[in-house]
Chains A and B, each alone.
Chain A
Amino acid sequence: MTQGCECSFPVEGENFDEAGKVSVEIKKMLKKIDIPDDVVRRAAIATYESEVNIISYAIQGTVNLQVTRDHILIDIQDTGPGISNIEQAMEQGYSTANDHIREMGFGAGMGLFNIKNCSDTFEISSEEGKGTHLKILINR
């Protein structure tokens, strides 16, 4: 792999055993390309939080990764309950996680906040009863 790539990873809802698998794989891929450490670090955090969100709340989802000469685009789409109030969901500490999720140390209401912090451009859209779509752009 030289400058760029495009690939897609499925993520299964409720499968906590696999949490982090996609992010670790993506991080390893990015480290093989000539990308600054800080950019890899931010992409890894954003992917991890997105992956955990799918597992925690959605039925299934897909992490699409596009690496170009200028940027890394992480595009995440899930099928699930969606988010009724995006503004509230973006607040640090706001969470709808159940006790099981919280006991494992997830669901602290920091996921979307962390993702936004790691992005140069962040877009989120959601439809109740259908799913959520995130677009995370990080400049190289």
Chain B
Amino acid sequence: MDMAFLVEKLGLTVRCGGDRLDREVSGGYAGDLLSNVMAGSKSGDVWVTCQAHQNIVAVSVLKEHAGIILTQGREPDKNTIERASQEGIPLLVTELSGFEIAGRIYNLLHP
């Protein structure tokens, strides 16, 4: 399953990294505490968070996430989009809550 599949199935809006949606999604992680995400997430995870500032990009690069989904209509800061574009990290937004989007991703990963 790749990021493009998630975008299509979940109606996500792409804010950057549209050319990198072929990244493979092997799991997911939900969290807003950056240290918790650093410690617990895995390479290939799609990260679900409400943090929209630019520091999320470094976490995703270091953990080699498939992409980041911002929840509840949060819009990424301009700097966040710039950094994510530079690093090739897909940045997506949804109106859904973290709970709802994580549940839907889980169902797609474990049909």
Contacts and interface: CB of A to CB of B under 8 A. Distances in A.
Interface in B23-59: 32-36, 38-39, 43, 49, 51, 53-59
A27 to B, nearest CB: 6
Interface residues of B, number: 22
Contacts, number: 63
Interface residues of A, number: 23
B36 A110 contact: yes
Main secondary structure of the interface of A (DSSP, over half): helix
17 contacts: A16-B55, A19-B55, A19-B58, A20-B61, A21-B58, A24-B62, A41-B43, A45-B39, A49-B35, A52-B35, A104-B51, A105-B32, A105-B33, A105-B49, A106-B35, A108-B33, A111-B35
Interface of B: 32-36, 38-39, 43, 49, 51, 53-59, 61-63, 79, 87
